[in-house]
Amino acid sequence: MTKMKPYLKRAWAEVSLSQLGRNVKIIKELNSQTTGIMAVVKADAYGHGDEQVCKYLYNECGIGYFAVSNLDEAVAVRQYCPESEIFILGYTPPEYAHEIAEYNIIQGVISTEYAVRLAENTPVPMRCHVKLDTGMGRIGLKHDTPEECADEIENIMKIKNLIVEGIYTHFAVADSDTHDNIAYTDRQEKFICDTYKILENRNIKFEHLHFMNSAGTCYRNNPASTLARVGIVMYGLHPDINLEIPEGIEPVMTVKAVISHVKTVEKGDCISYGRTFTAERTMKIATVTVGYADGYSRLLSSKGEILVHGKRCKITGRVCMDQLMIDVSDVEAQAGDIVTLIGKEGDDCITADELATLYGTIGYEVVCGISKRVPRIYTGGND
């Protein structure tokens, strides 16, 4: 049997650990000395590969806190970073509470009922932070006043086998600079800070109060937050494409593919499924070895552009499962040439944020959607 090649040069993603390190350094400089970084590495580190990203952040950048979505992700991070603190942002079925405690993981608690069910399923104490819904409308304790929230938190603290170490919330519109949304985030921030102060006045002090996400870290850094849960900006993307991010923060991922075939088509020839593209002149068309099964969305059909020798070439017709076609009439191109789907080439750059705007999504979805069959190749990490 022929052995599989470790790296098939078809479509691949290059992940710059050096750039990740530079981004982290800039983010650290944004924070006050009282605020640490909790690196958000859920969804396979936003598609960048959680093992390599976590190990680099842990060993080279001094990051000791990680946030994940679920227990499987948490156990994986525990293997990569044995002495780190790992926080589950999302829901864990209560019957797995004993595993949370066994792996020394911190669970987000979203209600008293949930706290009771978790405690019933672990014979040993389990660490947790209590979530407040201050305006996201998703999960967490929901009350009209901080006093009522403080009361419920006190009751949760009385539940046997739960160790409450912090409280937290999540901003809904910290990535918006409109007057109304700034005021909305102000209210969210004030509510949780007031809740924390009430608990302090009752001689209850937690190790952590955290509410800053990537947008909060970039645009409204507050030293009252002991942790900044940094996700998308750490990978070099914008929390919102309309707002600038700190200078020096750049995308970590570049996605490349190869031209497999170049041909000339005549006026009237159709390209790809559905005959949605018909040549209006003689054209030179290149086939590229990437498609929607690789995470390059079909919604980019006849919209997206790809860099060939630093020059933008437009997609012609529909993106197929494994291939797509581009117009290379104005550039020298041949089979075997490497092209750039996301990233810099020459003097130009195509970002995940740019692709997202073409079909009405966000950069988060673009990088998270790069499929598992696209190998991640890691570069740098020593500078």
Residues belonging to the active site: 42, 273
d(CA 301, CA 324): 9
How crowded is residue 338: how many other Cβ atoms within 10 Å of its Cβ? Answer: 14
- What is the DSSP annotation of 63-80? --EEEESSHHHHHHHHHH
Provide the sign of the torsion angle of the four alpha carbons 222, 228, 229, 234, taken in this order: positive
Classify residue 269 as exposed, middle or buried by CB count within 10 Å of its CB (0-12, 13-18, 19+). Answer: middle
Strands (E), 48-194: 65-68, 85-88, 106-109, 126-131, 162-168
The Cα–Cα gap between 234 and 238 comes to: 10
Q: Which residues contact 151 (CB under 8 A, 6 or more apart)?
A: none
Residue reference for tokens 């409280």? 167
DSSP reduced 3-state for 12: strand
Residue 309, classified by CB atoms within 10 Å of its CB into exposed (0-12), middle (13-18) or buried (19+), is middle
Find how far residue 206's CA is from the centre of its chain: 28
Distance in angstroms (rounded) separating the CA atoms of residues 361 and 356: 5
CA atoms of 19 and 270, how far apart (whole Å): 42
Q: Are 47 and 369 a contacting pair, CB within 8 Å? A: yes
Helix (H) or strand (E) run with residue 136 in it: none
In the three-class reduction of DSSP (H, G, I as helix; E, B as strand; rest coil), residue 279 is classed as coil
Give the whole-angstrom CA distance, residue 226 versus residue 211.
9
| Tokens standing for residue 86 | 């790992």
Chain-centroid distance, C-alpha 245: 15
CB-based burial of residue 196 (10 Å sphere; 0-12 exposed, 13-18 middle, 19+ buried)? Answer: buried
- How many other C-beta atoms are found inside a 10 Å radius of the C-beta of residue 2? 4
